[in-house]
Amino acid sequence: MSTETQRKALRGRVLTFNEDPRLIEAGASYDYWEDGCVVIDDDRIAIVGDAAAILPALNGKAELATFTNDLILPGFIDPHVHYPQTRVMASYGSQLMDWLERYTFVEEQKFSDPEHAHATAVFFLDQLLANGTTTASVFCTVHPTSVELFFAEASARNLRMIAGKSMMDRNAPTELMDTAEASYVECNELIGRWHDRSRLAYAITPRFAITSTEAQLDIAGRLAAEHPTVYVQTHLAENLEEVATVKSLFPEAASYTAVYDRFGLLGPRTLLGHCIHLDESEIKLLHDRAAIAVWCPTSNNFLGSGLFDLARLQEEPKPVRIALATDVGGGTSYSMLQTAAEAYKVAQLKGRSLTPFEAFYQMTLGNARALQLDHEIGTLAPGSMADLVVLDLDATANLTHRIDAAHGELEGILFALQILGDDRCTRATYVAGREAFTRAT
């Protein structure tokens, strides 16, 4: 350790996953130390394990923070969320297509104003951190400045963020439309300026098949081929009216999924929000392309879109890679805990019980794997970036009361937290070793 290294030690209950609990015996999928310690050197995790073993060896040369009875986890990851929709959340009364027109497209037009975009990026990132979320894959608006200002704010906070400009050249208000050619130039400029800069990555973001012409989807595919390390994010098969519209716009396509495939948009770095109304051939195609189906349960329920069929998508021999996300502002909470609570209920409606180990794995390492970032985030393994969240198990009287009934057993504690927890539980959020959010009390 050099003399300049800033060493911190966080003591508390420490949990980190190493494997998908669905694929091996659940107890072997994680490490958990009831009195644990995470040692951070500057921005990375140096040591993790039992406090009794680690603390004496530090010789008092670390700034110690003790979080008695708190749970220290890797920061949560939200792989599908719209930062321009902070004021669209909780908009009454309609399903996807009407909701887009009545609320979302109206709000997104305001992002031609850089001041509005900047203020919203600040608010949005504050919300993520207050909810323990340290990485997200984010839709911006069609305006390149909305991406610039988002990345600038994320970069100032040293956050691991993925984002992209929505590409839309039809079926939207004129103020929100670009053209295929303009989007090519703008995306290329944004990729050149931001992709792989500090902790940022670019996502080519055709909004969905309805708002892009074939020419623009072709451009999106070309961008993906020209920049193999960028992501692709879009929406797929969220709502039945949407699916029918795609069918009428692309009458030759075998399916909605096949539309994206035809333009080279499906691959292991493709994040597809929703994936509810899929036929068998589409599931096979997603499996074959190793694309990611992003489950957005609070949004799907709020907009009445349908029930994500986890068991069907995970079925052998063609399991699809899964991620779990908020989809704010269709989604109704920034909290990944609330998102996992809703996921649990949706799985129940489909006759499948989502274990708390699966839920906490998915919010951390599972989502990191979906983003191919598990070498850096989603885990407390030494060498990882020190992006983490400290959750207060006594955040509410109800949580204390309910967790008491778990008698210290991890599975019971996690399940109570998954179902009853929210942003009130976030005691602190660390980003690259720095405390980026601290709860007021």
Q: Which residues contact 219 (CB under 8 A, 6 or more apart)?
A: 167, 180, 181, 183, 184
Which residue from 91, 299, 333, 367 is in contact with ligand GUN, where contact means CB under 6 A? 299
Minimum gap (Å) between residue 419 Cβ and ligand GUN: 24
Contact 135, 75 (CB under 8 A): yes
Task: Give the strand pairing for 388-392 and 426-431.
Answer: antiparallel
The piece of 268-276, 305-313, 408-416, 425-433 that touches Zn ion (CB under 5 A) is: 268-276
Q: Which does 208 bind (CB under 5 to 8 A by kind): ligand GUN, Zn ion, none?
A: ligand GUN
Task: Using the minimum distance from each CB to Zn ion, give the nearer residue, 264 or 273.
Answer: 273
Phi/psi at 256 (nearest 5 deg)? -60, -50
From Zn ion, ligand GUN, none, interface partner of 309 (C-beta below 5 to 8 A by class):
none
Which CA distances in Å does 299 have to 46, 84, 307? 38, 15, 10
Decide: is 82 part of the binding site for ligand GUN (CB under 6 A).
yes
Q: How many residues would you count in the chain?
A: 441
359-396 residues labelled b (16+ CB within 10 A) or e (exposed): bbbbbbbbbbbbbebbebbbbbbeebbbbbbbbbbebe
327 binds Zn ion (CB under 5 A): yes
Using DSSP, state whether 405 is helix, strand or coil: coil
Stretch that binds Zn ion, among 32-40, 192-200, 311-319, 325-333 (CB under 5 A): 325-333
238 part of the interface to ligand GUN, by CB under 6 A = yes
In this complex, which beta carbon is closest to ligand GUN, that of residue 301 or of residue 379? 301
Among residues 131 and 300, whose Cβ is nearest to ligand GUN? 300
Size of site (CB under 6 A) for ligand GUN: 11
Q: Contact with ligand GUN (CB under 6 A): which of 235, 269, 277, 321?
A: 235
Q: Which one of ligand GUN, Zn ion, none interacts with residue 207, CB within 5 to 8 A by kind?
A: ligand GUN
* Stretch 328-387 residues interacting with ligand GUN (CB under 6 A): 330
HSE, side-chain direction, 13 A CA sphere, residue 151: 24
273 binds Zn ion (CB under 5 A): yes
Site for ligand GUN in 45-74 (CB under 6 A): none
Q: Pick the closest to residue 82 from 199, 304, 185, 234 (CA basis).
A: 234
In the complex with ligand GUN, which residue's Cβ is closer, 309 or 327?
A: 327
Torsion on CA atoms 41, 360, 265, 249, rounded to nearest 10: -140
Q: How far is the CB of 136 from ligand GUN (least distance, A)?
A: 15
Question: Which region among 96-104, 174-182, 193-201, 396-404 touches ligand GUN (by CB under 6 A)?
Answer: 96-104
Q: What tokens does 409 get?
A: 């057993």
Of the two residues 246 and 393, which places its CB atom closer to ligand GUN in the complex?
A: 246
408 phi/psi in degrees, rounded to 5: 75, 5
* Closest CA relative to residue 167, chosen from 157, 177, 159, 153: 177
Positions in 193-232 near ligand GUN (CB under 6 A)? 207-208
Strand partners, 137: 162
Q: 95, exposed or middle or buried, with CB in 10 Å at 0-12, 13-18, 19+?
A: middle
3-state secondary structure of 204: strand
* Dihedral class, residue 90 (left if φ above 0, else alpha if ψ from -120 to 50, else beta): left
Shortest CB 191 distance to Zn ion, Å:
21
Distances (CA, A) of 28 to 25, 226, 368: 6, 41, 19
The pair of three-digit structure tokens given for residue 146, joined into one six-digit string: 């909305």
**What is the total count of residues that contact Zn ion (CB under 5 A)?**
2
Q: From the CB of 88, what's the least distance to ligand GUN, in Å? A: 8
Least separation in angstroms between CB 104 and ligand GUN: 5
Q: Which is nearer to ligand GUN, 75 or 330 (CB)?
A: 330
Torsion of CA 227, 228, 230, 234, to 10 degrees: 100
Among 327, 342, 387, 392, interactor with ligand GUN by CB under 6 A? 327
> Which of residues 301 and 362 has its CB atom nearest to ligand GUN in the complex?
301
Q: Does 104 bind ligand GUN (CB under 6 A)?
A: yes
Q: Minimal distance in Å, beta carbon 76 to Zn ion?
A: 18
In whole angstroms, how close is the CB of 313 to ligand GUN at the nearest point? 18
* Eight-state DSSP code of residue 424: G
User: What residue is closest to ligand GUN based on CB?
Assistant: 330
Q: How far is the CB of 218 from ligand GUN (least distance, A)?
A: 19
Q: Name the residues that contact ligand GUN, by CB under 6 A.
A: 82, 96, 100, 104, 207-208, 235, 238, 299, 327, 330
Q: Name the residues that contact Zn ion, by CB under 5 A.
A: 273, 327
